[in-house]
Amino acid sequence: MKYFEKHPMIMVAVAVFGCAAAGVFVKTSEAPSVVTAAVRLLWTVLLLSPVTLGSKSFRQELAGIDRKSLLLGCLSGLFLAAHFTIWFESLNYTSVATSTTICCTEVVWVTIAFCIFLKGKISPMAVAAIAVTLFGNVLIAWVDFASGSGLYGDILSLIAAILLACYTVLGKILREKLSTTVYTYICYSACAAALLICCLVQGHGLFEYGMSPIVSGLMLALFSTIMGHSIFSWCLKFLSPSFVSASKLCIPVVSAVLALFFFGEVPTALQIVGCVIILGGMLWYYSIESKKV
């Protein structure tokens, strides 16, 4: 892991791909959004339990956690549960690329929260780089607005972005004191519990929709949660929360390629231009952040 600590951008790239694949897995599930999300998190907790509970150091860290950190970890999980449910639902009303793009405006809300609540500072050049990446996102999302379709899905995606920003900021606070494994285990456990309760309240059974949500949930747990969100949480210790969130702006580019391959969602010329702008802005932002190290 020392190598990756010195080169965290490798882990950022892995996390981007893992999260980008989420839209494909969600689309293949035939269950309601809350059921797919619940199965995803239950699989995640199941896969992480042997690693977390099987380690003496992690067990000691869990046993010694203070009440404030535990409550913040659970709160982070609740924000993540709401994010998953609402974002999954948005995919029923708009394309994978557009929904993912709008959700990635999380960087705006994280940057604002980072500066206001965590007393962080961001340079004018970094602000300009974020603005460039957001402009690329706007170009991609404009396709839905111009055609008059997918507006409801776009609104859901925006709400999901704000919820994800809350999760990211809390993660930054907790990663200063907790290991990635312990933090994510607490967060994902709370998230799974919240989603399971929602399923029970709404009268949804986890196994009444066939194997599609079970398989989709497993793929989401492996690739999008453990190789996606967990790695992003790990990166918060080595990179600023603004940069970690900004790196997620690359996710729509990868999502668009995957959606083209699996669902035949062909991007327009405007969307392609937007993807190029996003990558350019992202590389610019990284060059700014790397000079601080």
Tell me the angle at which helices 33-53 and 180-202 cross, rounded to the nearest 10 degrees.
150
Least confident range of 5-14, 73-82, 139-148, 200-209 = 139-148
Q: What is the reported pLDDT for 76? A: 94
Look up residue 93 and give its two tokens.
């009303």
For residue 243, give the nearest of 77, 75, 8 by alpha carbon. Answer: 8
State mean pLDDT over 41-59: 93
Which of 32-41, 77-86, 231-240 has the lowest average pLDDT?
A: 231-240
- Could you tell me what percent of the chain has a pLDDT over 90? 30
DSSP letter, residue 250: G
Residue 45 in this model has a pLDDT that exceeds 90: yes
Distances, alpha carbon 209 to alpha carbons 9, 82, 214, 216, 250, in Å:
39, 21, 9, 12, 33
Q: Which pLDDT score is estimated for 40?
A: 92
Q: Which has more pLDDT, 247 or 52?
A: 52
Q: What are phi and psi of 110, to 5 degrees?
A: -65, -45
With 60 as the cut, is the pLDDT of residue 207 above it? yes
Average pLDDT in the 93-104 region? 80
For 250-261, the DSSP string reads GHHHHHHHHHHH
In b/e form, how buried is each residue of 137-166, taking b as 16+ CB within 10 angstroms? bebbbbbbeeeeebeebbebbbbbbbbbbb
Residue 291 — φ and ψ, nearest 5°? -70, -20
Rounded mean pLDDT, 2-31: 84
Residue 202 has a pLDDT of 92
1: confidence class by pLDDT, cuts 50, 70, 90: low
Pick 227 or 291 by higher pLDDT: 227
pLDDT > 70 fraction of the chain, expressed in percent and rounded: 93
Residue 4 confidence (pLDDT): 67
Token digits for 226?
């453990």
10 Å CB burial of residue 183 (0-12, 13-18, 19+) is buried
Distance CA 250, CA 79 (A): 22
